[in-house]
């Protein structure tokens, strides 16, 4: 069985098809509306869900540096395999997270 991170960007209608993102060995699902992707909080919630799934998939990878690399590959893959609106939201969430980190220094 393969892992899936499913990001369901509900673009106004729950009847719209979901875009599966195939990764690793398990099933993960983040549900978020298109309206939520327009706000920083919604994008952060989406990125957090993808990062949690990546951490779960890579939890047995050792050493820790290899686990971090595994998680980064999974997040990159989630972005690459997503619908354009979701991929854009994930990219923007990364930029926003970096800006928050820099501002807190």
- The pLDDT tens digits of the residues spanning 39-79 come to 999 899 889 988 988 998 899 999 999 999 999 998 898 88
Tell me the residue range of the domain where 26 lies: 4-103
Please say if the pLDDT value at position 18 is more than 70: no
Prediction pTM value: 0.76
- pLDDT value, residue 97: 93
The total of structural domains in the chain comes to 1
**Contacts with 89 (C-beta within 8 Å, 6 or more apart), sequence order:** 9, 37, 42, 43, 46
Burial pattern 32-51, b for ≥16 Cβ within 10 A else e, equals bebebbeeeebbbbbbebbb
pLDDT at 1 over 80: no
CB distance 7 to 80 below 8 Å: no
Among residues of the chain, what percentage have pLDDT more than 90? 35
In contact, 49 and 102? CB cutoff 8 Å = no
């Amino acid at each position: 069985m393969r892992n899936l991170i499913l990001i369901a960007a509900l673009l106004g209608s729950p009847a719209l098809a979901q875009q599966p993102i195939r990764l690793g060995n398990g099933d993960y699902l983040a549900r978020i509306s298109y309206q939520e992707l327009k706000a920083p909080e919604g994008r952060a919630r989406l990125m957090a869900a993808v990062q949690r799934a990546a951490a779960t998939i890579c939890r047995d990878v050792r050493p820790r540096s290899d686990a971090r690399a595994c998680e980064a590959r999974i997040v990159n893959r989630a972005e690459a395999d997503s619908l354009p609106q979701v991929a854009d939201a994930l990219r923007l969430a990364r930029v926003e997270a970096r800006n928050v980190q820099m501002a807190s220094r």
